[in-house]
């Protein structure tokens, strides 16, 4: 594993110079796509799609220090002030829709900073998500599990986002601003020390099973579904190896 780690990072460059210092820590392993508006926050970075009114991906860097609880959850959802009206989701879009405002970067990951917590409630960090059985069920379990991995493993990089497995004109949309409803959600978790990935795809539907391991997939599968390219600043041969592999079980 030591030699693999050296191979991974001996050829890896820093994040692109065009990326702001605030975003750089989240994107040191590359931008999954450059299409859309790059928004840099205290606890995450994302690319926003003005058509779906959702993030294409949200990138986080989690550390043991960021597991500290400095502030409590606030539940103050607001439209993203950096996205113009007409290109963003509004509170009215979710009212009466039957969907939760599902966090991509979880609020529970942001308890280390008041500013990070506030920004986690921007609607650009949300997507319409089934509540019972997903946002308030298996998806929440997955988020909690990743925090436990951070506690045991240390620094992890996490990429989260929606999948739209339908033509744009066939997508379900909600509200006056026509916020697109994902068909699935994904998470990619990268351990830079062990040079390992584990990835998940979960349908945007109530899940009767709480067995997270049933939703393990490969990073390559997510790339094929979304057109994204994760970890593209890692040595290409190592990138291919870790993206094509499917974890045989959940991390410990």
Which residues have a catalytic role annotated? 103
In this structure, are residues 183 and 203 in contact, taking their beta carbons and an 8 Å threshold? yes
Which token pair is 110?
A: 């942001």
DSSP secondary structure string, 81-102? TTS-TTSS--HHHHTTSS-EEE
> β-strands 45-49, 54-62: how paired?
antiparallel
Half-sphere exposure (Cβ direction) of 180: Cα atoms closer than 13 Å: 25
Half-sphere exposure (Cβ direction) of 115: Cα atoms closer than 13 Å: 5
DSSP secondary structure string, 121-171? TBGGGEEEE-IIIIIIIIHHHHHHHHHHHHHHH--EEEEEEEE--S-GGGS
242 CB-near residues (< 8 Å, 6+ apart): 190, 195, 196, 197, 219, 231, 234
């Amino acid at each position: 594993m030591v030699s693999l780690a050296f191979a991974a990072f001996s050829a890896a460059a820093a994040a692109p110079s065009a990326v702001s210092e605030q975003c750089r820590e989240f994107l040191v392993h590359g931008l999954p796509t450059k299409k859309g508006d790059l928004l840099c926050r205290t606890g995450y970075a994302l690319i926003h799609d003005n058509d779906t009114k959702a993030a294409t991906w949200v990138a986080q860097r989690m550390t043991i220090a960021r597991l500290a609880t400095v502030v409590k959850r606030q539940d103050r959802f607001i439209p993203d002030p950096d996205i113009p009206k007409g290109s963003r989701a509004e509170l009215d879009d979710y009212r009466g829709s039957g969907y939760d405002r599902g966090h991509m970067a979880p609020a529970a990951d942001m308890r280390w900073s008041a500013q990070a917590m506030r920004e986690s409630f921007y609607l650009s960090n949300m997507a319409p998500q089934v509540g019972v059985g997903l946002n308030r069920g298996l998806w929440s379990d997955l988020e909690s599990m990743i925090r436990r991995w951070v506690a045991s493993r240390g620094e992890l990089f996490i990429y989260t986002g929606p999948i739209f497995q339908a033509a744009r004109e066939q997508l379900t949309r909600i509200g006056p601003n026509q916020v697109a409803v994902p068909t699935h959600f994904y998470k990619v978790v990268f351990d830079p020390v062990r040079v390992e990935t584990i990835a998940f795809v979960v349908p945007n539907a109530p899940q009767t099973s709480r067995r997270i391991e049933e939703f393990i997939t490969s990073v390559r599968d997510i790339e094929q579904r979304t057109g994204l390219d994760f970890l593209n600043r890692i040595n290409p041969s190592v990138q291919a190896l870790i993206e094509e592999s499917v974890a045989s079980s959940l991390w410990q």
